[in-house]
Amino acid sequence: MIHLLGINHRTAEVAVREKIWFSDDEIRLFLPAVKEKFFDECFMISTCNRTELYGVTKAEIADTTTEELSTLLINEVTTTKHASPDVNQKHFYHLQDIHAVNHLMKVATGLDSMVLGDVQILNQLRDHYALASESKVSGPVVNKLLQSAVHAGKRTKTETEISKGAVSVSYAAVDLAAKIFFDLSEKKVLLIGAGETGELTAKHLVARGIGKLLITNRTLKKAEEVAASLNAVPVPFETFVSTLSDVDIVISSVGATEYVLTMQQLKEIVKGRKQSPLLIIDIGVPRNIDPAVNKFENVFLHDLDSLSQIVERNHARRRTCIPSVNGIILEELNEFNRWYLSHAIAPTIDHLRDVYDSIRKEELDVHIHKFSEKDKEIVDLLTRRIVHRLIQLPASELRNGKGDSRQQKEMKLQVIRELFGLHHHHEHLDTNEENIGEE
């Protein structure tokens, strides 16, 4: 049975989530330990927004109730992270089988992300799968589970628009600049403000391949730190106005009670720009730029309101994609479900065949002396065919039982095991790690 124990942005605030965050080294130590106690194979992902543990439970703990297993796993996680009593049972969710698989696919497709459609999680899933593989705790079910989830995420990215369009103000500012100038590689940007929003905006600019980035901040040291990390140029706050004569884009995000750029300051600058267009994006609260600068020819000012309208339109467009993404998830779930049942059925059918064949051989040993050498071959072939025919019916019924739910098929499987005294055993398949990577 597949189990998921998780904590995320929906169930716990960041102060709680960070107490359950596992570093890569911690995961390497934790997974083998938890596997030895509870699982045949397992996998964990831990990010700023979620920590989730997936595992295929051992046959030895089959009689453990869901509530008991949940308590044991929570205790294992919180004890390892020394997180009690700040983190407790109410912060966690515990899902089983198809519900656990469905949840992971929602994560991979961005439906369960803090920002709808954020599929950056795909790279994190691949990285964390590599940790499980490296720690030798993954197996055929985890391999197929991750393969299916990543495939759902990649299909979502290519077949829908749920990840398209800026849904944060900082990204919307950069997106707007890219749409207006098309090629940012030849443009020069001045970023006013190196706080959290300013730094995030700077990272988006660098990711878009901006030609040259200047960063100014009231505290020069902060501007220098951010500039150093992004190969940008720090500019003293007292002199940033002089840089406006040759920049193409200005993005401002500072906390100020007065305008950091006034109409009067820009008036002289505009004269020397020789009709060169200047895009100014003001994402400060209160506004950083005097709205009157929009009156200058070839100066184009956008503020937080206009960006917020862009963000909301993109959010609305992403929400319309949810049904399509759910359709992709359903297809991938059905495919995984077929594989999972086949994976569970194969060892039982093989074991049943062994039982039948053992009985066949015992009877042959008793009676084979009654036949001629030529007839012995015929009898051996005939009895093998009888065993094959006897196996066909239960195998076909288990795999294809028309109208049967998954639970009904699993119940039939259990009945066959109990009727024929078949012991639980697990089929070992080759891993399929390469399918988790890029196609």
Catalytic positions, written as ranges: 48
What sections of 245-372 are H helices per DSSP? 263-271, 304-320, 322-367
Q: What is the rounded distance in angstroms from the CA atom of residue 425 to the CA atom of residue 344?
A: 10
Handedness of CA 261, 264, 268, 273 (dihedral sign): positive
Count of H-run helices and E-run strands, the chain? 14, 10
**265 residue type, one letter:** Q
Handedness of CA 340, 341, 342, 346 (dihedral sign): positive
Q: What is the rounded distance in angstroms from the CA atom of residue 428 to the CA atom of residue 343?
A: 10
Question: Strand 278-282 to strand 299-302: parallel, antiparallel, or no bridges (unpaired)?
Answer: parallel
Q: Token digits for 92?
A: 């966690």
Q: How far is CA 343 from the centre of its chain?
A: 25
Q: What is the rounded distance in angstroms from the CA atom of residue 167 to the CA atom of residue 173?
A: 10
Q: Token digits for 364?
A: 């042959």
Q: What is the rounded distance in angstroms from the CA atom of residue 144 to the CA atom of residue 126?
A: 13
Q: What is the rounded distance in angstroms from the CA atom of residue 402 to the CA atom of residue 253?
A: 62
Q: Is the CB of residue 98 less than 8 Å from the CB of residue 338?
A: no
Q: Which CA distances in Å does 134 have to 38, 67, 94, 130, 397?
A: 19, 31, 26, 6, 38
